[in-house]
Amino acid sequence: MLVRVATAKDEQGISALLGRSYPTLMKPAYASDVLALALPAMTRANPDLVASGTFYVAENIGSIVGCGGWSLTPPGGGAIVDGLVHARHFAVDPDRSGTGIGRAIFERLSNDARADGAVRIQALSSLNAEPFYKSMGLDRLDMIRVPMGAGILLPVVLMEGPLRPT
């Protein structure tokens, strides 16, 4: 498996991965009516994020099996805080969940963000992904609701922790 910086050519593959991952892995944690309204916005690759140079894909034999990255700006915008970065749009192929793909992407993110001067990372975690981020050293700060359009407020866990050497 190779973890590399994503390019615009990866957008279709990232969207396909998100479309496989989120509906399957989030199903046990969210009501089906909430997912039906929230998933269309969540399962499209964000072109700006993909082109940022801080978004990664994990490839296995030419197939994208994981993605995720970081940004200085919080999801949805807001103030940049010195030393703090934000985990963004993590996903793993549901058939490969628990095999270390997410960890490999998180380690790449951590190394690159630390090299850029970051010392802490924050994540808006889906309910089902909280154990993953906890295993990466992040702690729950709060439970919040993120507007997803169509009147949907998606419950997510605000998490934060140190960027530890990997």
What is the per-residue pLDDT across 20-57, written as a single tens digit (0 to 9) for each? 999 999 999 999 999 998 999 899 999 999 999 999 99
Distance CA 149, CA 38 (A): 7
pLDDT one-digit tens code per residue, 128-164: 999 999 999 999 999 999 988 778 889 999 999 999 8
CA-wise closest residue to 41 among 22, 57, 67, 63: 22
CATH number of 142's domain: 3.40.630.30
| Count of domains observed in the chain | 1
Give the domain extent around 142.
2-162
The burial of 117, by beta-carbon neighbours within 10 Å (0-12 exposed, 13-18 middle, 19 or more buried), is given as exposed
